[in-house]
């Protein structure tokens, strides 16, 4: 798949970081627009119609979340948020507002490119459909037959466990917040539901043979949610 047609808007006030990201993305074959301020970013979003936005949350003129809100009103362009490590609450807020993913500063350029590819794929539908089969290393999930195998061996999951795993596998490479998963699986969020999710998740990991520190299949984003590893990265 060629990247050439994709246009990426980078909204970042720090010029050296913006310059670095621009260089990396241009080397990766993307067309890059840079906005140093939120307002300018909103204008460019409307006039240039980028395919994806990389957004720094700490902008001088406007809160980054405001940008997400405005962007979400107009169109469904994928947004990847850049944030500092300590700000889990901001990350969750940004994701709940409709950002597609976040990446923590300082990040490696490989990581950034991987996230961008994943987000673009999800939006542009280069994704296995829900009826198909998901394959990631030794893990296969057959959605319609509700069957999971690790290295060819069938794994017996409960209904809920399967639903969670299947849900994550439909969004590979994208972090899903606890709230998003719980809502998708149980239909609503209440006091014990995140704990219920975590208990189920512990069982899933055990059944898939993932020891702590093994992020081949599922990456646990502490305090935020879970991410299915991306088979295409």
Binding of residue 202 to other proteins (CB under 8 A): yes
Q: How far apart are the first and last CA of the chain?
A: 13
If 0-12 CB within 10 Å is exposed, 13-18 middle and 19+ buried, where does residue 125 land?
exposed
Where does the chain show beta strands of DSSP type E? 7-11, 31-35, 52-56, 79-83, 101-104, 133-136, 139-142, 147-150, 153-155, 175-177, 218-221, 225-228
**Per CB under 8 A, which of residues 157..196 are in contact with other proteins?**
192, 195-196
According to CB under 8 A, which one of 89, 126, 133, 232 is a site residue for other proteins? 89
According to CB under 8 A, which one of 28, 205, 207, 209 is a site residue for other proteins? 205
Binding of residue 3 to other proteins (CB under 8 A): no
**Per CB under 8 A, which of residues 35..64 are in contact with other proteins?**
none
According to CB under 8 A, which one of 85, 145, 156, 159 is a site residue for other proteins? 85
- Whether the CB-CB separation of 33 and 12 falls below 8 Å is answered with no
Mark 211-230 with x for binding to other proteins (rule: CB under 8 A) and - for no binding. Answer: xxxxx---xx-xx-------
Quote the Cα angle for 229-114-15, to 5°.
140
According to CB under 8 A, which one of 1, 43, 49, 199 is a site residue for other proteins? 199
Binding site for other proteins (CB under 8 A): 85-86, 88-89, 106, 192, 195-196, 198-199, 201-202, 205, 211-215, 219-220, 222-223
């Amino acid at each position: 798949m060629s990247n050439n047609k994709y246009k990426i808007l980078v909204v970042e006030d720090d010029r050296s970081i913006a310059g670095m990201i621009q260089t990396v993305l241009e080397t990766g074959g993307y067309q890059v627009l840079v906005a140093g301020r939120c307002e300018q970013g909103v204008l460019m979003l409307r006039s240039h119609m980028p395919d994806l936005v990389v957004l720094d949350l700490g902008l001088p003129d406007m809160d980054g979340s405001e940008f997400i809100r405005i962007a979400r009103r107009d169109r469904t362009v994928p947004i990847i948020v850049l944030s500092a490590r300590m700000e889990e609450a901001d990350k969750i807020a940004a994701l709940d507002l409709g950002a597609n993913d976040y990446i923590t500063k300082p990040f490696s350029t490989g990581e950034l490119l991987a996230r961008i590819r994943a987000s673009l794929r999800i939006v542009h539908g280069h994704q296995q459909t829900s009826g198909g089969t998901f394959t990631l290393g030794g893990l296969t999930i057959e959605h319609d037959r509700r069957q999971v195998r690790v290295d060819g061996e069938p794994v017996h999951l409960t209904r809920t466990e399967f639903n969670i795993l299947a849900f994550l596998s439909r969004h590979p490479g994208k972090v899903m917040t606890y709230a998003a998963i719980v809502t998708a699986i149980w239909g609503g969020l209440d006091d014990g539901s995140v704990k219920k999710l975590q208990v189920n998740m512990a069982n899933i990991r055990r059944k898939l043979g993932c020891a702590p520190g093994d992020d081949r299949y599922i990456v646990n984003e502490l305090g935020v949610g879970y991410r299915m590893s991306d088979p295409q990265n």
